[in-house]
Amino acid sequence: MVVVRFQRRGTKKMPHHRIVVTDRSRAQASRVLEVLGVYDPSKEPPAFHVDDARLTHWVSLGAKVSEALARQLRKHRGIEVPTA
């Protein structure tokens, strides 16, 4: 199953995340199908950028969105998406 989720990057105590499309069975830091955006909670205000058109495309193809990403989409964009 294809899923849209966060991929943790950065260093210890200074994380930032990529928003990626990947297979659910792959490890968090493994190869991805596409990078859709970034989320950096260490900035003030937190940086949250996502390509809405590509996100809509992947969800229309049947990709599920992780709970954590869905929560951030509601908070920063005010949009609801189906979760995994």
SS3 content of the chain, % helix, strand, coil (to 5): 25, 40, 35
CATH architecture of 2-76: 2-Layer Sandwich (3.30)
Q: pLDDT band at residue 77, thresholds of 50, 70 and 90?
A: confident
- State the average pLDDT over residues 27-38: 88
| Token pair of 49 as six digits | 């950028």
| Single pTM value for the model | 0.86
Question: Residue 30 — pLDDT band, cuts 50, 70, 90?
Answer: confident
pLDDT of the residue at 84: 62
Q: Would you give the distance in Å from CA 48 to the centre of its chain? A: 10
Distances (CA, A) of 65 to 3, 44, 51, 71: 6, 25, 14, 10
pLDDT over 70 at 32, yes or no? yes
- Give CA–CA dist 45/12, Å, rounded: 20
